[in-house]
Structure 1
Amino acid sequence: MAKRVSRARGIPLRAIAPNAVTALALCSGLTGVRYGISGEWERAVLMILLAGALDGIDGQIARMVRGESRFGAELDSLADSISFGVSPALVVYLWSLMAFPRVGWIVALVYAVFAALRLARFNAQIDVVEQPHKSAGFLTGVPAPAGAGLAMLPMYLSFWTGEEIFRSYWLVTPWVAFVAFLMVSNLATFSWSSLKLRRTIRFEAIIAVVVVAAAMVSAPFQTLSVVCIAYLVSIPFSIASYARVRRQRAAAPASPSPLA
């Protein structure tokens, strides 16, 4: 009796929309490199930020249309590696680190590789049951999109202040290396998807979002600078919050065994 050969299933039709958004994010990140090569720095930054915005909605679209797939997850990781690893590294290198060619290029490579390692670690832990950070509502290290935004902080500051000090490779080199370390670190950082607002402050949260959106339109680089600094300030609080959760879990009585 002949063996029945299983056929590989294709991508379901409902998965096309989220995968198309992921592809657009990839195109946006690569377009940022194109603008960086031509010296259009503000456009380069905005294209990478647009890639971050698209990356934030492709997963939401996939869940809405029930279009999650292994193919989409792999495509998303590859796109993130380029949009938030390679593209920011090249743009920041061309903008500042090129004046310090050897060390600057090493730092740019380290940043791009660490972003890929961060994404690989995330993928490797998807099916892991025991994830202390995730179960407590935290991320492990700074996510790649946030890392890209932080790496370009000197560019935001330079655009709206006009100060050349922010373009100095003496400042940008250690900063990019520090952001690369944050991405691969084991530090507990807040996860936006796990944040739950109390009913009493939901209206105030909507107002805050509207204010931030308006500020982003009228003064984008000033607002981005404030957002990045606020995110950095939140990291010590997330570390302390996770430590408190760990202490509470350690102090909680163990659940009784069913055989007892």
Structure 2
Amino acid sequence: METPASPPPSSKPGKSNDEARGPRFREIPLRLMVPNLITVLAICAGLTGIRLAFEGRYELAVAMVLLAAFLDGIDGRVARLLKATSSFGVQMDSLADIINFGVAPALVSYAFLLDQAHSMGWIACLLYAIAAGLRLARFNVMAERQVKAPWQSEFFVGVPAPMGAMLVLLPVYLGFLGVAPSPVFVYASVAYTLLIGYLLVSRLPVWSGKAGRIRRDLMLPVLLVAVLYVALLMSYTWEVLSVTVVAYLCILPFSARAWHRRYGTITIEDESANV
């Protein structure tokens, strides 16, 4: 009876056959790929929104940008839920943020309206995209700190980039509602884009809602209001988005006032001196 052939000896003395073949790739659990897949889909949605905007399909373009913002907002939560957080995912999410919250909304706004302001419109888009990148860099630096300021669980420094993407598209929403692209509206939109870019990089305390609490007896009414909002958003998309943006901008002064009442003795400049 023939015996099975013995494996060939290692090419180098003192080393096993596995070591001789070279390094082996470590297997990765499938659950670790889910958050990264969501991030990739968010990037695809943001870039597709840019393409649709330059093809003149503006409503679909805005929908894709908002979808990208939604996917980018849930990938971190999915990662924590699946216990699949990783340094690779954090870096990839940061790169996706600059596309979805900075580049995509700026280019959609430019293709729809701001190009009529020529160089001024392009400069406004550039400044907004750069402001979004600076805002995200500052957020990442502050998030990596081991010791956090007491207010950081309740307030952002400046308007968060995802909300900035939603805010900067307000002229586009109004255009969908029939506002004519007159020179006054176009140049007012340029100034508005610059304003949103400034709010992103400002030191304005913005309530985050992370530490908010809801009384148990108010839970069902709040759920009903949320369902009503989603239903109205599906039926009257551009009207609801316009009202949401205006309401958010009106809340910002009250957010800053609430911060000063609670943490007025601490300055954000001191807490973020190294940012």
Provide, for residues 138-163 of structure 1, a one-character-per-residue CA deviation record: whole Å limited to 9, x for no partner.
11111111101100011112212344
How many aligned positions are there? 245
Contact 1:26 1:79 in 2 (8 A): yes
Deviation at 1:237, TM superposition (A): 1.3
Deviation at 1:33, TM superposition (A): 0.3
Deviation at 1:94, TM superposition (A): 1.3
Amino acid at match of 2:57: E
User: Which one is further off, 178-187 or 193-202?
Assistant: 193-202
Contact 1:28 1:50 in 2 (8 A): yes
RMSD: 2.3
User: What residue in structure 2 maps to residue 47 of structure 1?
Assistant: 64
Of the three residues 70, 73, 79, the one matched with 2:87 is 70
User: What residue in structure 1 maps to residue 235 of structure 2?
Assistant: 218
Report the CA distance shift for 1:18/1:246 in structure 2 as closer, same or farther (over 3 A): same
TM-score, normalised to structure 2's length?
Answer: 0.82
Hey, what's the Cα distance between the residues in 2 that align with 1:163 and 1:108? 21
Q: Which has the higher helix share?
A: 1
Hey, what's the Cα distance between the residues in 2 that align with 1:197 and 1:166? 46
Provide, for residues 103-156 of structure 1, a one-character-per-residue CA deviation record: whole Å limited to 9, x for no partner.
211111111111011111111112224443753511111111110110001111
User: What residue in structure 1 maps to residue 31 of structure 2?
Assistant: 14
Of the three residues 252, 258, 263, the one matched with 1:246 is 263
User: What residue in structure 1 maps to residue 50 of structure 2?
Assistant: 33
Identity %: 41
Provide, for residues 164-189 of structure 1, a one-character-per-residue CA deviation record: whole Å limited to 9, x for no partner.
35993211100000000111111111
Amino acid at match of 1:75: M
User: What residue in structure 1 maps to residue 157 of structure 2?
Assistant: 140
Provide, for residues 8-35 of structure 1, a one-character-per-residue CA deviation record: whole Å limited to 9, x for no partner.
9786543211111111111111111001
Hey, what's the Cα distance between the residues in 1 that align with 2:185 and 2:117? 10
TM-score, normalised to structure 1's length?
Answer: 0.87
User: What residue in structure 2 maps to residue 108 of structure 1?
Assistant: 125
Contact 1:36 1:91 in 2 (8 A): yes
User: What residue in structure 1 maps to residue 176 of structure 2?
Assistant: 159
User: What residue in structure 2 maps to residue 184 of structure 1?
Assistant: 201
Hey, what's the Cα distance between the residues in 2 that align with 1:140 and 1:247? 14
Report the CA distance shift for 1:105/1:9 in structure 2 as closer, same or farther (over 3 A): farther
Hey, what's the Cα distance between the residues in 1 that align with 2:173 and 2:160? 20
Deviation at 1:57, TM superposition (A): 1.3
Of the three residues 171, 182, 187, the one matched with 1:170 is 187
Mark the runs of 5 or more structure 2 residues left unpaired by the alignment. 1-23, 268-275
Give the 3-state SS of the residue equivalent to 1:189 in structure 2: strand
Contact 2:114 2:121 in 1 (8 A): yes
Mark the runs of 5 or more structure 1 residues left unpaired by the alignment. 1-6, 251-260
Report the CA distance shift for 1:218/1:247 in structure 2 as closer, same or farther (over 3 A): same
> Is 2:261 the counterpart of 1:237?
no
